[in-house]
Amino acid sequence: MQTTATCPAILIAAPASGQGKTTVTSALARLHTRQGRRVRVFKCGPDFLDPCWHALASGAPVYQMDLWMTGEADCRARLHAAALEADLIIVEGVMGLFDGEPSAADLAQRFGLPVLAVVDASGMVGTFGALAFGLQHYRADMPWAGVLANRVANVRHAGMLQASVAPEQWLGAVLRNATMALPKRHLGLTVATEVVDAMERLDAAADALATTPLGQMTLEDLQRWAVDFVAPEIPLPMAPGGWAAERSAACPPTALRSPPLPPQNALTPSHLPLFGTTVAVARDAAFCFIYAANLDTLRVLGAELVFFSPLADAALPVCDALWIPGGYPELHAETIAANKAFKNSLTAHVAAGKPVWAECGGMMALFDTLVTLDGQRHAQWGVLPGEVTMQKLLAGLGPQQLALESGTLRGHTFHYSTTATPLQPAVRTSRPHTEPSDDAGEAVWQVGGVRASYFHAWFPSCPEAVVELFTASVEVTA
């Protein structure tokens, strides 16, 4: 394997959330992709929704990067693999550049990724230059690409903003344009595949970016941001059968395939821990929060994956285990309630003692009742006793870890609902570097082979624990 791979790379950051990072990231990816260039995009942090837009823009699956949740080794391996075959690597930051532990700034400095700052310049002139200067110099030795002004009023406004920064820092101005806005809802951006004019919006954003110095950079120009990515000590694993040509991301069209990754170790399929296990994965508008890396991990472990829609299908596919990921059951509660045939099929799976792992939205639908914001009560699958109630205030947010018998999974929580149930938690998650306690973290509910929690797991963080979740007759222990 090539020990060092060199590729132009940038990390797109901002002074805060809501500045336009996702739009600019997707626009830049779309702009270069439609020119025939190979673009690989990554998302800093545990986000599910932004990657859907980046995947649509770049034509390739998007993986998350977080120095705690995914780990430095995983980040290093993915960056190296991308650099071997890409013309440009783009990493979208999370929140403000220095927000969180670890932050986007930590990721940029760890891998030498030049930072491109996107600043919402509406309502400011000279302060734009102060923000740009502060972002660059707040921390010593920050790799830096420059600054892009977003939501600019007009050409005159752009000229005043440009005058507030050093000439080499200016990467252009994007004028306010409603046609390139990406729609939002309560958990973030609307999933790209649900927006009928998603590609038109991305093209509008790419067209706007094409008028800026950033958008006019050639492949030769991009070389000023070239980064040397060192090969990982341990290559990324691969599913049996060679290259990762059959892996698809959860949100973009299924035709999108991930780039090749380094070969795995020489385990034969029959020696893989989930060999012969068929895992059914819920995937539709209600259950769509799926990390592409989680699908990869299940396949690497030997599982065969089959996908189904709890909204549209009358029965589960033939399977040995079931994964119901998060999503938006609250937006589809009536449809879930009306699909009695599917509920009966799920009940039979549970009665047979087969494993079920349900995360956040998947867990919500397992309860008896879901109460939506308008106060309407909707019967759900009734696997877990109790009800889930939506609320306007955020109920849980942040990194979490789940200690199982086989090891500890890392992940996060993010939800606007609460549960009321007579069940006692089988175990609770905990914050990074802390022990579980009875009054903190997310509960893991267990009934027979069913395990469910608000916790979203990053499967590559502990494949042994993933095997435990999808293997029958294994109890969760504190």
H/E/C letters for each residue in 101-144?
CCCHHHHHHHHCCCEEEEEECCCCCHHHHHHHHHHHHCCCCCCE
Q: Is 75 a catalytic residue?
A: no
d(CA 385, CA 198): 39
* pLDDT tens by residue, 233-254: 876 664 443 323 223 333 433 3
Exposed / middle / buried, residue 438 (Cβ in 10 Å: 0-12, 13-18, 19+): exposed
* pLDDT tens by residue, 190-206: 666 667 788 899 999 99
CB 263 within 8 A of CB 36: no
Q: Any idea what DSSP says for residue 183?
A: P
Q: Say what the pTM is.
A: 0.88
d(CA 145, CA 361): 39
- pLDDT digit of tens for each residue in the chain (478 aa)? 578 999 999 999 999 999 999 999 999 999 999 999 999 999 999 988 889 889 999 999 999 999 999 999 999 999 999 999 999 999 999 999 999 999 999 999 999 999 999 999 999 999 999 999 999 999 999 999 999 999 999 999 999 999 999 999 999 999 998 776 776 655 566 666 667 788 899 999 999 999 999 999 999 999 999 999 998 887 666 444 332 322 333 343 333 333 333 333 344 565 799 999 999 999 999 999 999 999 999 999 999 999 999 999 999 999 999 999 999 999 999 999 999 999 999 999 999 999 999 999 999 999 999 999 999 999 999 999 999 999 999 888 899 999 999 999 999 999 999 999 999 999 999 999 999 888 889 999 999 999 999 999 999 999 999 999 999 764 434 3
d(CA 463, CA 125): 51
Residue that the structure tokens 């998350």 belong to: 64
d(CA 237, CA 248): 16
Q: What are phi and psi of 369, to 5 degrees?
A: -140, 145
The residue annotated as part of the active site, out of 75, 251, 360, 462, is 360
Residues whose CB is less than 8 angstroms from the CB of residue 155 and which lie 6 or more positions away in sequence, other chains included: none
